[in-house]
């Protein structure tokens, strides 16, 4: 598989889509710094360092579908099989390449925030160890998403269809995670204002929110937010991670399960 990886990375260096995605993530980092500088000059780079997990999902969805789709359209996968590479090695090498590309894109964003954010917004307030831990967990989230994209793209030879399916999937998962996060963050009580006289005097009383999640239902919602890559992305971006050490385990499970399923299905796939 080493020869496959060497060939993949050599191709990656010349891939225009990869460099466009790199430039986009770098620009996103600069844009975030400028926006914070204009709207909230007291902000620190901490608030920007962890936004990339939310952005990278759509970017890697587009990249993976185009990168792997090109292998089908150019006949590269068929040629790899002809020269003796196994289907498992081809699948795994593409997953490793796409995951590495996604992580490098994230590093492009982090570099932009560090290069422009620290001089303009000041030093981060978070402990450096905490920053590194969150970034590494975010990388695991990126790999989990990439594993799903690789599964979809390796089993679909149509580049356009694969791109649409991957992007729609990540957007749907992001919307689902946003909904779950909103339900979990709903307040238990809200204030109700009652006018006491004709002069406009009012008193407030707390009313219980019927939408507030409790018990088993809340635990189920929290599990899915921790389990979904997009849910982890939202938690990391808001630096709200109540189950910090479970998240990489969930990501590892998604990576292993989707990769095993992908390899088994790709072995039986009829390559036209």
Q: What is the pLDDT of residues 203-241, one digit of tens each?
A: 566 677 777 778 888 899 999 999 999 999 999 998 887
Tell me, yes or no, whether 200 lies in a domain. Answer: no
Q: What is the pLDDT of residues 78-131, one digit of tens each?
A: 888 888 889 999 999 999 999 999 999 999 999 999 999 888 887 877 888 888
Tell me, yes or no, whether 72 lies in a domain. Answer: yes
Is a pLDDT exceeding 60 seen at residue 194?
A: no
The rounded distance, in Å, linking the Cα atoms of 250 and 223 is 10
The residue with greater pLDDT, 48 or 235, is 235
The structural domain count of the chain equals 1
Which helix (H) or strand (E) segment holds residue 246: the answer is helix 246-268
Tell me, yes or no, whether 263 lies in a domain. Answer: yes
Contact (CB, 8 A) for 228 and 173: yes
The residue with greater pLDDT, 191 or 196, is 191
Provide the pLDDT for residue 202.
54
Tokens (6 digits) for 122: 């000041």
Q: Give the global pTM.
A: 0.89
Which residue's entry shows tokens 């925030």?
113
Mean pLDDT of 148-166: 92
Provide the pLDDT for residue 201.
55
Tell me, yes or no, whether 20 lies in a domain. Answer: yes
Residues with Cβ within 8 Å of residue 11, at least 6 apart in sequence: none
Tell me, yes or no, whether 149 lies in a domain. Answer: yes
Percent of the chain with pLDDT over 90: 57
Tell me, yes or no, whether 239 lies in a domain. Answer: yes
Tell me, yes or no, whether 181 lies in a domain. Answer: yes
Domain hosting 168: range is: 2-187+214-268
Which residue's entry shows tokens 């990388």?
139
Mean pLDDT of 52-72: 93
Q: Lowest-pLDDT range, 35-49, 105-119, 182-196, 253-267?
A: 182-196
Is a pLDDT exceeding 80 seen at residue 255?
A: yes
Tell me, yes or no, whether 209 lies in a domain. Answer: no
């Amino acid at each position: 598989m080493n020869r496959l990886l060497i060939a993949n990375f050599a191709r990656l260096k010349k891939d225009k889509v990869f460099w466009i995605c790199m430039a986009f993530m770098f620009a996103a980092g600069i844009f975030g710094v400028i926006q914070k500088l204009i709207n909230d000059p007291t902000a620190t780079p901490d608030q920007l360092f962890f936004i990339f997990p939310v952005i990278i999902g759509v970017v890697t969805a587009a990249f993976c579908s185009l990168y792997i789709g090109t292998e089908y359209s150019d006949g590269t996968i068929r040629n790899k099989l002809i020269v003796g590479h196994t289907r498992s090695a081809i699948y795994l090498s593409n997953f490793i390449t796409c995951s590495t590309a996604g992580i490098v894109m994230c590093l492009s964003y982090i570099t932009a925030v560090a290069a422009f954010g620290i001089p303009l917004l000041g030093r981060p307030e978070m402990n450096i160890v905490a920053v590194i831990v969150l970034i590494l967990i975010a990388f695991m989230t990126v790999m989990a998403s990439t594993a799903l994209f690789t599964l979809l793209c390796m089993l679909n030879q149509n580049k356009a269809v694969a791109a649409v399916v991957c992007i729609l999937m990540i957007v749907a998962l992001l919307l689902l995670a946003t909904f779950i996060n909103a339900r979990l963050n709903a307040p238990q009580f809200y204030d109700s204002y009652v006018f006491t006289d004709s002069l406009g005097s009012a008193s407030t009383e707390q009313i219980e929110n019927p939408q507030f999640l409790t018990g088993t239902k809340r635990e189920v919602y929290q599990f899915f937010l921790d389990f979904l890559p997009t849910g982890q992305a939202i938690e990391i971006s808001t630096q709200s991670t109540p189950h910090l050490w479970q998240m990489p385990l969930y990501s590892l499970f998604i990576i292993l399960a989707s990769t095993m399923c992908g390899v088994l299905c790709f072995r039986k796939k009829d390559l036209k």
